[in-house]
Chains A and B, each alone.
Chain A
Amino acid sequence: MQSRMPPQAYISQDWFQRERELLFKPLWQFVGLKMMLAQHNSFITRNIGGIPIVIQNFNGELRAFENLCAHRQNPLQTQAHGIRSLVCGYHGWKYSSDGKVENMPFEHEVFRYEQQERECLGLKRFRLETIGNLVFINLAADSLPLNAQFNQALIAQLEDVSNAFDSEVLFTTYKTKLNWKLAYENLRDGHHPRYLHSRSLYQNVRFQVAMDETAIKHAKQYHANGTKDHQQALDLLAGFSNGGPDEPIKTRESYAWHEYVERYSDKDWYYNWLIFPNLHIASGSGGYSFIIEHHQPVSADRTDVMIYYVTAKKKRPYATSAAVLHAHLMGADTVLREDFEVMENIQAGLHSNAAHAVLGDYEYGISAIQDWYMDVMEGKVTL
């Protein structure tokens, strides 16, 4: 089955800009973990869709603002995360939880704004919602609600699993040279671990491709017809995010630290949640620890892959918890780099006359997303 995706979808910067407007802007996007925002004045900063964003805790309430001062657009928070009130370092304006200027030093001496102008000063605010410990924002003022993007069963699962996350979080970013869509396609490809990860991941988890004949039939029908129906497009969208227990783990080791955490489940299974468009949560340890992988598009050929590692909640602090998280990342690093390398090679080879992909039946999940994506990008449906 020939993919509808032209090479431009992966390499063209004009396409990337259009994609930001048509796809990302109306969608809810993951921005970070609530555990990193637990204290008053704790914050994280991100660049989402080209817009610098700050998520800040105001006495327990999380708010998302554009991270640019209303005075002369200096970024308010300059670190990736930290604990600091929302104050601009340039001329000292301080902002309150509604984004208004709460304190303007020397207001009457040097600024002397007209009352009307003064009242309008404030930060651009974005909608923010959480599912358990997962924080999402939406850049559009009025687009679909969060529970239209994800189905109820998934929301319940994500709430459940993320509430099991411990407060100690390991975090890093891989700056990759690939289009973000290659990452979600790769994650939905259960056939590659046998080859690409034959010496790493596949040693421990024998991923099997699921030949779901009904889903294959649906994907083919959809491929032939596409959709122009808004509701059908939303139903399909909700279906792209799913997960849960995936494959049994061949041999699960028992480590000393397992006793110090509240395990999320009692099954020795590999857990895997794929959350469209760009989030992946997995547990390779049967619920003792989790990776949260977020593919943040930067440009057509650049994606920041943000990796978080947590264990399940600690019963009490223990000395080696940082070493446990460190060891997790070092273990995953090999597999991550195997994936990045192949995706970067694909990205580097693509050119405007390159052929379209030809998908096999097992790639029905990728095919359905690609067809839906093209309907959105071609304006057949608007989100």
Chain B
Amino acid sequence: MAATKLIIGSAPQVDLAIASWQEIEPDLEIIGIRLQQDNAYRFDLSELDAIDAKRCTAFVAFDDQFLNFRRYELMAEIKSRGFKMPPLICQGTLVAKTTKVGENSFIGSGAIIDHHCQIGYNVVIGAGTNIGSNTVIAHSAWIAPGVVIGAQVKVSANATLGHGVIVTDHIEIGKLSVVDKPGKFSQHIPAKTFIYAAFDEDIVIVENRNANTHSLS
């Protein structure tokens, strides 16, 4: 059995993850690795080379940078080195028995997740979040603390829900979308749509493939 836990990522997230693991497993030996990024956002992972993946489990704690791809890339890198990456389900959560949680996911204190939900890998669910039954949160999504998500919702891969967001039942949040504007959302949000309180209009990404047009004057 692995006796040591490596927690790898950016400083504030690593600190939170260490404190949370200590609460649920007081005897665990924890090594925190706080990574720096260079100007092109690359990580220096050389510290990991000396560590034997069979003797430790690992957890990646990183924010939503680059639409959650940075955390995804880091997790993929650590996993490829052979580390097991069980999820971190913090103290005081209420996660129904029929709900499944994937590898390297984080469920913050006080979160309530109802029955028959699927939480993918590498998901971050902030403290006090409330998620209704039969909801799917796909991999690498980021849910800020206190977000309220209804039943039978789908939050697609790499999506981000910010503070103060309420998603009503049956709604789908598209892949890579960001909803960071307090309020109730009762319409589907297409993929690659970025909704911010500070912007006058939604930011959208359009891709229209067949580019063989010509113009008439």
Contacts and interface: CB of A to CB of B under 8 A. Distances in A.
Interface of A: 34-40, 42, 57, 60-63, 81, 83, 127-130, 135, 167-175, 251, 253-256, 319-320, 322-323, 325-327, 329
Given A167-B207, A173-B200, A253-B39, A326 B213 contact: no
A61 B208 contact: no
B145 to A, nearest CB: 22
B208 A38 contact: yes
Contacts of A175: 200-201
A319 B73 CA distance: 11
Contact of B210 (A39, A170, A254, A323): A39
Given A322-B176, A326-B67, A130 B208 contact: no
A35 B211 contact: yes
B154 to A, nearest CB: 18
B69 A174 contact: no
B50 interface: no
A62 B216 contact: yes
B67 A135 contact: no
A256 B70 CA distance: 12
Nearest to A173: B201
Contacts of A130: 215
A305 B84 CA distance: 49
B212 A127 contact: no
Contacts of B43: none
Contact of B213 (A61, A174, A251, A319): A61
A253 B201 CA distance: 30
Interface in B12-42: 39-41
Contact of A171 (B40, B203, B213): B203
A323 B215 contact: no
A169 B67 contact: no
B215 A172 contact: no
A149 to B, nearest CB: 14
16 contacts: A60-B212, A128-B216, A171-B205, A172-B201, A172-B203, A172-B204, A253-B39, A256-B40, A319-B69, A320-B67, A322-B67, A322-B176, A323-B66, A323-B69, A326-B178, A329-B203
Given A60-B214, A61-B213, A174 B208 contact: no
Nearest to A62: B215
A174 B200 contact: yes
Is the contact region of chain B dominated by helix, strand, or loop, or is it mixed?
loop
Determine which residue in A35, A175, A251 has the highest number of CB atoms from chain B within 10 A of its CB, and name it.
A35
A327 B66 contact: yes
Q: Which of A63, A320, A325 has the most CB of B within 10 A?
A: A320
Interface in B154-180: 176, 178
A167 B66 CA distance: 21
Interface string B174-214: 00101000000000000010100001111111111111111
A322 B204 CA distance: 10
B217 interface: yes
B40 to A, nearest CB: 5
Nearest to A170: B205
A61 B200 contact: no
A151 B138 CA distance: 52
Nearest to A176: B200
6 closest Cβ pairs, A-B complex: A323-B67, A172-B203, A130-B215, A175-B200, A38-B208, A168-B207
B155 to A, nearest CB: 16
Contacts of A36: 206, 208
B203 A37 contact: no
B204 A34 contact: no
Contacts of B176: 322-323
Contacts of B209: 38-39, 167
Given A37-B208, A167-B211, A326 B69 contact: no
A31 B112 CA distance: 49
A360 to B, nearest CB: 34
Most buried by A among B178, B192, B194, B215: B215
Given A172-B202, A173-B201, A174-B200, 4 more contacts: A61-B214, A170-B205, A172-B203, A173-B200
Given A57-B213, A60-B212, A62-B215, A326 B39 contact: no
A39 B209 CA distance: 7
B192 A63 contact: no
A204 to B, nearest CB: 11
B80 to A, nearest CB: 16
A207 B178 CA distance: 34
